[in-house]
Amino acid sequence: MKTSDYNEYFVPTFSRSGPPLVKGKGVYLYDATGRKFLDFGSGIAVNALGHAHPALMKAMVDQSKKLIHTSNLYITPPHIELARMLVMNSFGKKVFLCNSGTEAMEAAIKFSRKYGSQTSEKKYHTLSFFNGFHGRTYGALSATAQDKFHKGFGPMLEGFHYSHLNDEKGTRKILDKHDFAAILVEPIQGEGGIHCASTAFLQFLRDYATKRDIVLVFDEIQCGMGRTGTLWNYEQHGVIPDLMAIAKPLGGGLPLGGLICCDKVAMAISPGNHGTTFGGNPVACALGCEVLKIVSKKPFLKKVTDLGIYLKSKLNELSIKYPVIKEVRGSGFLAGAELQIDPKEIVSKCKKAGLLVISAGSNTLRFMPPLIAEKKHIDAALSIFEKCL
Ligand SMILES: *Cc1c(COP(=O)(O)O)cnc(C)c1O
C-alpha cells in the first residue's frame, strides 16, 4: 500500500509514510510487506512489555468476556484493583483514573486550583518549565512552555508562567511574584529533548511548595513506570510530589491515564467536581494491573537499570567516535543523543535499516526500547544506528 493510498483520509496531524504496521512480537514490529523493525520507540514509551505479551493478551480476553464498559457511575473489580496497586506502590493515598496523559495533567491543574481556592480565590497561578511537555488540551497546552505547540492556537489560559529547568534563582523570582496553586515538572523532560531535573532543583521546588502550600505535581507520564530503572523516577531523587500524572505505559497499550494524589489535595474534590465517561475502563485497568505487577518487581527493575547503564555507555562510546553526537543524556531506557544535525534524517535512515527511533526536542534522538529488551537488542539497535551515522 502506497502512502498516497491512505494519507488522503486523515487530518494531517502526523506526517506518516510507508506501509501500515500489521503485527508485533516482543521488541519487533512487522509491516504489511513483511519488513521487520526493531522497536526502540515503544509506541512513544507505551509498549513497556513489548508487543503481544502473553499476560496482556490473556488479561484482555478474560476481562472482555466479563465487562468492557460500565461508566463511572459504577465500580468494577479491575478499577478497584489497579487503584489499590497504585496506592500500595507509590507515595499516593488516592487515585483518579482517566484515558490519557493530557487528561491526567488537566486533572492535576484542576485539582490544584480547587485546593488553592480553599485558601484564596487568587491562588490559581501555575508554574511549568521551558521545553516541558504536558499535553494538547488547553490546560495542558498552556502548561507546555514551547512556542511551537502554541503557535496559531492562542490565547493560552490565564495564570500560566514559565521558568527554566534547574534555574533555582530565576524560578524563585517568578514564584515570589504570584499566588501559585501548582508547580508542574517532568523529572525528565521527554518530548522536549531528554533534559533531567537535578535532585537539588526538585528538592528546592519541594521546599518552596511546602512553605507556600503550593501543590507540587510531577509529570511521570513518560519517565514513570519502570522506564528509568525505578518504578517511579521521583524515588531516585528522594523528593515526593503531592500529585503525580501517569499514563503512557499504564494501560499496556490501551488508553489509560491516572493521577496519584496525596490526601489533602484529593479531599478538596467532591462528587461532581470532575469526571470522565471512559476513565478507569475495566479492560484497560485489567491490563494496567498486569503491567504494574510485572514492572514493579525488583529483578525486572534491576535489569532495566543495568541495561540502561549499558545503553548509555555504548552511546557515549559512539559520541567519542562520531562528533556529530554532541551529548548523551537520560536514565535507564529513556536515553537521548543530542546531535549536531537534524535528527529527522537519522530517524528515517534508521527506519530504512530496520530500527525505529524517535526524535525529541529540536535536535535529539530518543532511544526508548520496551523494558523487556535484552542486551542483544541494544547491540543490534546501536549497530544499525552506527551504520546510519
Ligand atoms: C505524552 C506525554 C503527555 C501527554 O500524554 P497523552 O497521552 O498523549 O495525552 C504529557 N506529559 C508527558 C511528559 C508526556 O510524555
Residue 255 region by backbone torsions, left for phi larger than 0, else alpha for psi between -120 and 50, else beta: beta
Q: How far is the CA of 186 from the centre of ligand 1 (A)?
A: 10
- Does residue 334 carry a pLDDT above 60? yes
Cβ atoms of 224 and 233 closer than 8 Å:
yes
Cβ atoms of 27 and 372 closer than 8 Å:
yes
| 133 in contact with ligand 1, CB cutoff 6 A | yes
Q: Which atom of ligand 1 is nearest to the CA of 137?
A: 9
Nearest CA to ligand 1 atom 6: 101
Domain of residue 18, CATH code: 3.90.1150.10
- Residue 86, domain member (yes or no): yes
Cβ atoms of 304 and 297 closer than 8 Å:
no
- Residue 378, domain member (yes or no): yes
pLDDT tens figures, 154-169: 999 999 999 999 999 9
- Does residue 4 carry a pLDDT above 70? no
| 190 in contact with ligand 1, CB cutoff 6 A | yes
> What integer is the mean pLDDT of 244-266?
98
| 191 in contact with ligand 1, CB cutoff 6 A | yes
Nearest CA to ligand 1 atom 15: 222
CA 127/CA 308 separation, integer angstroms? 31
Length of the chain: 389
Overall domain count for the chain: 2
DSSP classification of residue 101: H
- Residue 268, domain member (yes or no): yes
Structural domain span for residue 356: 3-52+297-388
At 179, list the grid cell: 499566588
| 134 in contact with ligand 1, CB cutoff 6 A | yes
Q: Are residues 271 and 305 in the same domain?
A: no
CA 179/CA 181 separation, integer angstroms? 7
The domain boundary residue, chosen from 295, 316, 340 = 295
Q: Are residues 320 and 290 in the same domain?
A: no
- Residue 61, domain member (yes or no): no
Q: Are residues 267 and 332 in the same domain?
A: no
Which pLDDT value is given to residue 41? 98
Cβ atoms of 177 and 142 closer than 8 Å:
no
- Does residue 256 carry a pLDDT above 80? yes
| CA–CA–CA angle 283, 285, 294 (5° rounding) | 115
- Does residue 2 carry a pLDDT above 80? no
Q: Which atom of ligand 1 is nearest to the CA of 191?
A: 15
Q: What's phi and psi for 50, nearest 5 deg?
A: 75, -160
Q: Are residues 227 and 165 in the same domain?
A: yes
Which pLDDT value is given to residue 5? 77
CA 215/CA 182 separation, integer angstroms? 5
Task: Tell me the pairing of strands 160-163 and 325-331.
Answer: unpaired
Domain of residue 249, CATH code: 3.40.640.10
Whether pTM > 0.85 for this model: the answer is yes
The domain boundary residue, chosen from 276, 295, 314 = 295
- The mean pLDDT of the chain is 97
The domain boundary residue, chosen from 295, 315, 349 = 295
Q: Are residues 114 and 33 in the same domain?
A: no
Q: How far is the CA of 133 from the centre of ligand 1 (A)?
A: 7
Q: Are residues 291 and 306 in the same domain?
A: no
Q: How far is the CA of 100 from the centre of ligand 1 (A)?
A: 7
CA 371/CA 15 separation, integer angstroms? 27
Q: Are residues 118 and 9 in the same domain?
A: no
pLDDT tens figures, 121-146: 999 999 999 999 999 999 999 999 99
Q: Are residues 241 and 301 in the same domain?
A: no
- Residue 58, domain member (yes or no): no
Q: Are residues 135 and 245 in the same domain?
A: yes
The pick from 44, 138, 186, 222 for probing ligand 1's pocket by mutation, whose C-beta has the most ligand atoms within 8 angstroms, reads 222
Q: How far is the CA of 35 from the centre of ligand 1 (A)?
A: 29
Q: Are residues 215 and 256 in the same domain?
A: yes
Listing DSSP states for 120-138 in one string gives -TTTTEEEEEBT----SSH
pLDDT tens figures, 189-199: 999 999 999 99
Nearest-CA neighbor of 303 among 373, 369, 255, 252?
Answer: 373
